[in-house]
A and B are shown apart, each in its own frame.
Chain A
Amino acid sequence: MDEKNEALMGDHKMSLWQILRHSKPYVAKEKLAIFLSFLLILINVVINIVLPYFTSRFVGLLKDETVGEKTFAILMGVVIGYVVLAVANEGIRYIQSMILQKAGQRIVYGLRMEVFNHIESMSQNQFNEMATGSLVTRVANYTASVSDLFTSVLVNLISNLLTVIGVLIIMMVISIQLSLWLLLFALVAGITSFFFGKIVGKIFRNERRYISDLNTFLSENLSGMKITQIFNQEKRKEEEFDVKNNNIRKATYSVVIAFAFYRPFINFLYYGSVAVTFGVGLQLQLLAAEIVAFYLYLSRFFNPIQNIADQLNQIQRALTAAERLYCLLDVPPEVVDKPEAREIDHFEGKIEFRNVWFAYEEENWILKDVSFVVEPKQTVAFVGATGAGKTTILSLIVRNYEIQRGQILIDGIDITEIKIDSLRKAIGQMLQDVFLFSGSIRSNLTLHDDSFTDEEIKAATDYVNASTFISKLPNGLEEEVLERGENFSSGQRQLLSFARTILHKPQILILDEATANIDTETELLIQDSLERIKNIGTMLVVAHRLSTIQHADNIIVLQNGEVLEQGNHQELLRKKGHYYKLYELQYADQEVK
C-alpha cells in the first residue's frame, strides 16, 4: 500500500536511465524534428563562431596589413560577407526555433492526452488516494516541463556546450597562452554560477513557499472575513498577516541580495578578462586583429557558461517533473475490462451478491460474506448505521471498486464479464453528494451529449418535478450553474441529479439518499418524484426516509459489513430484531407529535 501510494505521489526515486527510457516513445515520434533542428543549431554555432573572425579580419586589413590597391574591395567584401552570413544565421535560427517549438508543443499535446486518458481510466479507489490538485499539476505543468527538457533545455545545453568548446578551440588556435588565462576566468565564472544556481534555487523555493503561504491565508481569510469580524479577531488576523507579509518581503529581498552580488560579480570577471586580454595580449605581441577577435569571443564565451550552469539546474527540476509524471503513468488502472468482457444492451435487472468480501485497504473488511438477491423490478432498501457498508454495496455494483472474494451477478452474469461501459450505462446512479459542473443546467443534464432533444430534457425534468423551478429561472435551461452548483439549493441540486439520471434512460437505479434537511415543500417534491422513479426498474436505495424504507419490497439490514436480516417492513417489525430497534431509535420519534 505504502509503496503504491508513493508511486502515485511520485516520491519514489526513478533512475535517470528509467526516465530516459520512459521518454523515448515521445521523443522518438519527433526524432526528425529534433535531428533537423540539431543540425541547424550546429550551423548556428559554427556561424556564431565564424562571425567575429570577419570583424577581426576587418580590423586586420586596416591596421595590421599594408593598405594596397585591392584593400578597399576586400574590405567591402568582408562587410558584405558579414552581413550575408549574419542574416542567414538569423533565418536559420528562426526556422530551427519554430521546428523545435512545434515539436515541443506536439509532445506536450501527446503527453497531456496520454496522462488525461490514463487518469480517466483509474478507479475510484485510486482517485481517492490522490489530491485532485496534484493530478491537475501533472496534466497541466509537468507535461510541459518534460517536453521542455527535450526541446529546450537539452538542446540549449548542447548548443551552449558546443559554442564554448568551439570558441575555446579558436582562441587556442590564436594564442594558447592567452586562452589558458581566460579559461581560468571562465572556470571561476562557471563554478560561481553553478553554486549560485544551487543557492538561489533554494531561495526561490523559499520565496515561492511564502507566497503560496500568504495566498492560502488570504483566500481563506477573505472568504471567512465575516467570521473574523463577528468574533472580533481582526487584530489577531492582522498579526498573522504581518508575519506572512514580512516573510515574503524578506524572501524576495534575499533573492535580490543574491543577484545583487552574482550578476555584478560575473560582470566584473568579464571585464577582468577583458583587461587580461589587452594586457597579456599585448605582452604576447598579438596583432590588433587578434586582440579584437579575443575581445569579441570573450562575450561568446562567458554567456554560454552562465547559461550552462542555469540549465543544469533546470534539468534537475525537469527530471523531478518527469519522474512524477511517469510514476503516475506507471500505475496500472485497477478496474479494467477483461479481454473477453461482453457488451450487453438490455438488462432484466436481477442482481445477486454471492459471498462478497470487500476491503478498501487490505484485511480491513468493509463487507463480510454478503449475499442477497434482488429480483427484477424490485425496490430494495439498505438500512444500517454509518459505516455498515450501505454505500459501499452501491458502488460495487457499478464496479467503482473490485471485490476481493465472491461474485456479483446481474441477470446471472458476473459483472466482471460485462464491459464496464455497458454496465454503467445501464445503471443510473444518484449519489449523495450531488456534483454539478460549472456551465448551464442543460449541460449538467446532458453532460455535453448533444443528441438529447429539448423534448427529452423537458420530459425528464417534468418526470422528477424539476421543471417548475427551472421554468422560474430567468434563463430556464440555460441558467448558469456556478462552480459546484453553489447557486442552487441542495433540494434543487437533488432534483437536477434525478433529472440527469432519468434523461440517460437507466434500466437499473441506485440511489444514495441524502439526509440534508431540505425545506418542507421541496422535500415533498423529492418524495413524489422518488415514487415515480421507482417504477423504472430495479432500484437499490440506501434509505434514510421512512417512506422509502417502508414501501421497499425488501429491506436489507446491515451491521458492520454483514447482512443481519432482511424482509419487508412488516416482517422485520414482527421479528423484533435489529431493524425493530433501529426503527424505534431513529424513526419512531419522527412520528410522535
Chain B
Amino acid sequence: MLFGKYVNKYYKKFFLFFLIGVVALIVVDVAQTFIPRFLGQIIDSNNELIVDSEKLGSIIGGIILVAGIMFVGRAVWRLSIFRASTGIAAGLRKEMFLHAEKLPPAYYHENKVGNIMNWFTSDIEEISDFFGWGTVMLVDAVFLSASVFISMIRLNPWMTLLTAIPIILIIIWGMLVDRFMSKLWEGRQKEYDKLYDFAQENFTGIRVIKAFVKQNKEIHAFAKVAKKNQEVNVSFARLSVFFDVIIELILIIQMGFLLGFGGWMVYSTIVGNPVVIFGQTISMTVGELMEFVGYVDLIVWPMIALGQIVSMRSRAKGSLRRISAFLDTKVDVFSPPNAVSLDGGAGEIEFKGFSFRFPGTNDYALKDITLKIKAGEHIGIVGKVGAGKTCLVNTLLRLYNVEKGQVFIDGHDIMDADIQSLRNHISYAPQDNFLFSAEVEENIAFAASKINHERVVEAAGFADVASNIEAFPKGYQTVSGERGVTLSGGQKQRISIARAEYKDAPIMILDDCVSAVDVKTEETILANIANTRKDKTTLLIASRVSSVMHMDKIIVLDDGKLSAYGSHNELMKTSPLYQRMVFLQELEKEMEGGSKRG
C-alpha cells in the first residue's frame, strides 16, 4: 500500500474496484487450495473410486467447480484491479499536465524537459504497476500462503515445519537478489543509453566526422561502447540465470526432504509402525504426501513475489515522491482576485523605477527603469547580449512576477491585471522560434480556435513567408516538425512572426526574430511593420542598430540599466553607447564596403 496526498483520493475513487478485485483474489486463493486435496483423494482411493462412480463424480465435479470459480475470479480481479491502476495512471497524468500548464517558463529553464517526461512516463508506470501487480502480489502473499499453510498444518504440522525453512530462504534470497538485480538492470540500461546516444550523435554529426576523416576513431569509440554493452548484458544474464537456478535448487532440495521424510512416514504407516515424534503418532498416506507436495507448489510463487514486493514498493515510493514534488511546485504567477481586464486598452506601456531579478538570484537583471511608451509608438530595443532586452519584454507578459507599482499597461498595474486578458493584449514572437508539429496554417492561427484562412494568408504576407509556404507541395497544410517538412530557421522565424501578427493585439513584441533571414526579407518585414501596424504599439528587439533606427524611439539597454531612450537622431547626439554601436556597424561596413558609392 502506498499513501500520499496525491494518491489517497484514488483509494476512495476506486474503492469498489479494489474491493471487488481483492475479494475475487481471495476467493481464487482459497479455491486453488482445493486442487491438491482432490489429487490426494484420487491417489488414496483410486481402487474404490473405480467402482464408486458416485464418489468419483463428486470429486470430478469438485474440480470443475473449482476451475469455474477460478476462471471467473481471475477474470474479475484482473478486470477490476487493473481498472483501478490504469485509472490512477490516467488521473495522475492529467493532474500533472494541468499543473504543467500553470508552471512559469522559469520552471522549464531549470528542469530539463527530459526529466519531466520521465515523471510523466516511467514514474507514473511504476506507481500504476504497484497499484496493480503490487496489490495482486500482496494479497496473494498474504491470503494464498495463509490458506495453504492452514491446509498444510492441518495435514501434517511436522512436514510444514520442514517446508518453512526453505520458504524463508527463498524470501531472503529473493529480496537480496532483487535489490542487486535492479541495480544491475539500471547499469545495463545506462550502457544501452550510452550506445543509443553515441549512435544518435554520430549520425547527426556525420558531416563533421566525414569532413575531418574521423570515421575510424568513431568506429573504435563505438566498439568500446558496444563491447561494454556486451559485457554488462552477459553479467546481467549470468545473475538472472543464477538467481533462477538457486531458487530451483532450493526447491529441489526441499522436494528431496519432503519425499524422503514423507516417504519414511508413509512407509512406516504402511508397515504398521508409524513414526512417533514427541510422543505423537503420525500416520500418513501417500495421497496425503502428494497433497502436501501440491501445497508446496502453490506457495512458491507468492514467496518469490514477496521478495519483489519490497523493492517494487520502494521504487513506487520514489516515483511518487518525484511526482509529488512536481505537483507541489508552487505556481507563483496567477491573476489576483478581482483582476482588472485590459480588454479595449490602446496599448500604452509604462515602467516606473522598474527593477527585476530572476527568482532565486541575487543580481538584478533590470535596474531602475523608468520610461513611457505611448499607445501606437514603434519602439526599438538594442543592447549587447545579456543587457536585459528579452527580460524586459518577458516581464510585460507576466512570465514572471514583478514588484507592484512598477509596470503599467494602459494605466493598470500588470500585477493587478487578469493574466489572460494581459496576454490577449500582446502579440508576441519569441526569440526561439518554437512551432508545434502541426500544419503551417494551424501554427499561424494558433491564437484562435477557428482558422480564418484569409487572415492566415495575410499574416504570412506580413512576415514575408507566404511565397515560401505556397511553394511547399501542400502549401498551408504542410506539416512542420519531425513528421513533416523540416523548415529552415528563417522560415520558422517568419512563421512565428506571422503567428504573432495573426493575433493582431494592441501591443506587438518581436524579440530578435529576424536573425536568420536575409537582409532583403528583413527589410520587407520592417516595412510591413511600419505600414500594417501604424498607430499600434510595436516593440522590436534587434541585434543591429540598422533594424531599429527608423523607429519612433529606441531603448538602449546596458547591463540591465536604461542607458538611453529617444529617437535615432536624439540618441546620436546624447548617447555615447548608441554612438559606439552605430560606429561599430559603420566600421564593419567599411571593412566590407571598400569602395564608396557616389
Enumerate chain A interface residues (CB-CB to B < 8 A).
55, 58-59, 62-63, 67, 71-72, 75-76, 78-80, 82-83, 86-87, 90-91, 93-94, 97-98, 101-102, 105-106, 108-109, 112-113, 116-117, 119-121, 124, 127, 132-133, 135-136, 139-140, 211, 215-216, 218-234, 236-238, 241-242, 245-246, 248-249, 252-253, 256-257, 259-261, 263-265, 267-268, 271-272, 274-275, 278-279, 282-283, 285-288, 291-292, 295, 398, 400, 421, 424-425, 427, 429, 431, 435, 437-438, 447-449, 483-484, 489, 500, 504, 515-521, 523-524, 527, 545-547, 550-551, 569, 585-593
Contacts and interface: CB of A to CB of B under 8 A. Distances in A.
B241 interface: yes
Given A272-B67, A500-B212, 18 more contacts: A83-B253, A93-B241, A101-B237, A117-B219, A211-B121, A224-B434, A225-B101, A225-B108, A229-B105, A230-B423, A236-B449, A253-B86, A261-B75, A398-B211, A400-B207, A448-B221, A547-B592, A590-B592
Interface residues of B, number: 144
A109 B227 contact: yes
A230 B101 CA distance: 11
A238 B98 contact: yes
B584 A520 contact: yes
B2 interface: no
A83 B252 contact: yes
B588 interface: yes
B3 interface: no
A116 B241 contact: no
B550 interface: no
A140 B199 contact: yes
A90 B243 CA distance: 11
A219 B449 contact: no
B266 A520 contact: no
Nearest to A227: B434
A447 B437 contact: no
A231 B399 CA distance: 12
Given A222-B117, A278-B38, A87 B90 contact: no
Contacts of A76: 260, 263
State the majority secondary structure of interface residues on B.
helix
Contact of B67 (A263, A268, A435): A268
Given A275-B64, A516-B515, A524-B588, A249 B87 contact: yes
Contacts of B68: 268
Top 8 nearest A-B pairs (CB, nearest first) are A271-B67, A546-B592, A260-B78, A264-B74, A83-B256, A101-B237, A517-B515, A429-B211
Interface string B403-429: 000000000000000001001101010
B163 to A, nearest CB: 16
Contacts of B543: 517-520
A98 B113 contact: no
A224 B108 CA distance: 9
Nearest to B433: A227
Given A242-B94, A521-B584, A268 B43 contact: no
A237 B399 contact: no
Interface string B230-257: 1001100110011001001100110110
Contacts of B90: 245-246, 248-249
Interface of B: 35, 38-39, 42-44, 46, 49-50, 56, 59-60, 63-64, 66-68, 70-72, 74-75, 78-79, 82-83, 86-87, 89-90, 93-94, 97-98, 100-103, 105, 108, 113, 116-117, 120-121, 192, 195-196, 199-215, 217-219, 221-223, 226-227, 229-230, 233-234, 237-238, 241-242, 245, 248-249, 252-253, 255-256, 259-260, 263-264, 266-267, 270-271, 286-287, 290, 293, 384-385, 397, 399, 420, 423-424, 426, 428, 430, 434, 436-437, 446-447, 449, 481-482, 489, 499, 503, 514-516, 518-520, 523, 543-544, 581, 584-589, 591-597
Nearest to A116: B222
Given A136-B203, A249-B86, A519-B385, A116 B219 contact: yes
A278 B219 contact: no
Given A120-B219, A140-B192, A132 B446 contact: no
Contact of A220 (B43, B210, B436, B596): B436
Contact of B46 (A226, A231, A267, A291): A291
Nearest to A284: B50
Contact of A590 (B44, B499, B519): B519
Contacts of A55: 259, 293
Contacts of A435: 204-205, 207-208
Given A108-B230, A139-B199, A589 B67 contact: no
A135 B203 contact: yes
Given A94-B242, A517-B544, A591 B597 contact: yes
A260 B241 contact: no
B211 A295 contact: no
Contacts of A94: 241-242, 245
Contact of B82 (A78, A253, A288): A253
B544 to A, nearest CB: 6
A63 B267 CA distance: 10
Nearest to B522: A517
A120 B101 contact: no
A59 B101 contact: no
A164 to B, nearest CB: 21
Contacts of A248: 89-90
Nearest to B587: A524
B430 A226 contact: yes
A226 B399 contact: yes
Contacts of B437: 216, 220
Nearest to B107: A225
Nearest to B270: A67
Contacts, number: 382
Contact of A113 (B209, B226, B589): B226
A78 B585 CA distance: 98
B245 A232 contact: no
B338 to A, nearest CB: 20
A215 B117 contact: yes
Contacts of B503: 231
A44 to B, nearest CB: 12
24 contacts: A75-B263, A82-B259, A97-B237, A108-B233, A113-B226, A218-B117, A221-B436, A222-B108, A225-B103, A229-B399, A232-B447, A238-B101, A256-B82, A264-B75, A272-B64, A279-B56, A282-B56, A291-B46, A449-B214, A449-B217, A520-B581, A547-B594, A550-B595, A588-B597
Nearest to A431: B207
A593 B203 contact: no
A527 B591 contact: yes
A249 to B, nearest CB: 4
Contacts of A249: 86-87, 89-90
Contacts of B430: 226-227, 230
A389 B447 CA distance: 39
Contact of A127 (B72, B93, B203, B234): B203
A447 B208 contact: yes
Nearest to B73: A264
A439 B384 CA distance: 28
Contact of A400 (B35, B210, B234): B210
Given A119-B203, A449-B214, A589 B519 contact: yes
B528 to A, nearest CB: 17
A286 B56 CA distance: 14
Contact of B384 (A216, A221, A288, A519): A519
Nearest to A100: B237
Interface centre among A132, A215, A216 (most CB of B within 10 A): A132
A531 to B, nearest CB: 9
Contacts of B520: 585-586
B108 A223 contact: yes
B50 A285 contact: yes
A264 B79 CA distance: 12
Given A71-B267, A225-B108, A82 B255 contact: yes
A524 B101 contact: no
Contact of B43 (A260, A292, A424, A520): A292
